Structure 1
């Protein structure tokens, strides 16, 4: 994937990306509060769509050719791109919800993973919750690194090092993060592991979606018969966390977090700065 010369946004364009980021965050907050055993992934999709449209935005996943839903809902060994529908969540499931909103021609994209409570299988729930927590914390370490590194690909090493320090996990390599702006998926790629190339400069105007995808087993995947859902080859469960982050003259700002990332970055000694 070759880099375009216009991967950097202007200050005015960065300001326009705040609203779709917040709409994306709101949709995930609404879905998170609704997740429980017995709810269908289709119902979660409807909640996300209503939230996004209620804020004057539109679901940008619906603009992907052939996709007709607001979220991707990936349960257990489904890693990403799961299609919402009649499937009911069960106790102990880990479900990853990916959502995005477009407003004024600009995009937001983010994802969370949630473990459905199951008092009868506490060890399973604990293992899956740790997987989610490790994946989320690796995301925050990648975001924190974005505040100091000179080149984008340096953050992949930070993500990888943290995950490996927490246990034996698999970091997907076939699916990575991306730039975001006028389109939901833009250049440059954002790796969740160490690579030789240093990537583009981290400087004001860079906006990227960082999204580690981590499994309890191997990293080999396949696409199910629906031509969308990506699942682990070994059947082990996975987690997926994502935020869209802007670099600007004052620092960094997490566009898809209501607080700009303040809570997630505070333990790492980074203070996000609002886009002026």
Structure 2
């Protein structure tokens, strides 16, 4: 079985720093993500903030030939939405901003959903359920648990509400490289797959569809959308396996109440 890279104590400290800085990016975003702003403007402000305010590097820029520092996925876009000056947020939109940051050679990865002022109750429920599914997966993390435990927990929350889990895209190990082993599936069976070990770092980032799980990729080669054009939502955090549980390295201030002793 493929295991993740175990980080040393100094490496974990670097990961913590990258995660802490990335959480600050989303705090900044909270003030600028409003109706009427273009996703390209959000991209520009994020790049400027990461480089000039945090003295860090937007890790997605140039990765695999990608030309932006974030993904902006609106409504039926599942993931990898490309920022554009022509894509301005409207009153009913939901949008996911997925951002990576590198500091001291180590990368953190996180995403957050934003809801505009007239987002429908149906869309709000999808976003809320996806968030709860991510946290259900996070709370399974501890030494001796399996990757299947994470996937099963995520899947149960989403499917209980009648939603579907996107299976083509998954979480991943992360550290010096953006994508390391192991793959973190958001579906599965308890007790299956590799065991988690203290020092592993990886993302949990479920993509949950309002309708069917099937997706398709647009002609730009990046943008993934739901095949039935129904809504999709995603949340993501970078997680550390501790000696007795988990640490959310990209935890945002408004989430501190969700952390219990573990």
| Structure-2 separation of matches of 1:192 and 1:15 | 27
| 8 A Cα contact 1:207 1:247, kept in partner | yes
Matches within 5 A, 1:132-147: 132-147=127-142
| 8 A Cα contact 1:262 1:271, kept in partner | no
Q: Which residue of 1 aligns with 2:70?
A: 71
Displacement, 1:148?
6.7
| 8 A Cα contact 2:96 2:112, kept in partner | yes
| Structure-1 separation of matches of 2:148 and 2:22 | 25
Q: Which residue of 2 aligns with 1:121?
A: none
Change (3 A) 1:191 1:40: same
234-243 or 145-154: which moved more?
A: 145-154
Q: Which residue of 1 aligns with 2:261?
A: 271
| Structure-2 separation of matches of 1:32 and 1:260 | 11
| Structure-2 separation of matches of 1:132 and 1:150 | 27
| Structure-1 separation of matches of 2:8 and 2:46 | 30
Q: Which residue of 2 aligns with 1:172?
A: 166
Give me the TM-score of the superposition, normalised by structure 2.
Answer: 0.93
Change (3 A) 1:201 1:260: farther
| Count, aligned residues | 260
| 8 A Cα contact 2:143 2:195, kept in partner | no
| Structure-2 separation of matches of 1:263 and 1:63 | 36
Displacement, 1:195?
4.4
| Structure-1 separation of matches of 2:158 and 2:166 | 12
| 8 A Cα contact 1:149 1:155, kept in partner | no
| Structure-2 separation of matches of 1:149 and 1:33 | 40
> Would you say 1:111 and 2:106 are equivalent positions?
no
Displacement, 1:261?
5.7
| 8 A Cα contact 1:115 1:125, kept in partner | no
Displacement, 1:18?
0.9
Matches within 5 A, 1:31-110: 31-53=29-51, 54-86=53-85, 87-110=87-110
Structure 2 regions of 5+ residues with no counterpart?
none
Change (3 A) 1:109 1:115: same
Change (3 A) 1:197 1:146: closer
Displacement, 1:250?
5.1
| 8 A Cα contact 2:141 2:245, kept in partner | no
Structure 1 regions of 5+ residues with no counterpart?
119-123
| 8 A Cα contact 1:11 1:248, kept in partner | no
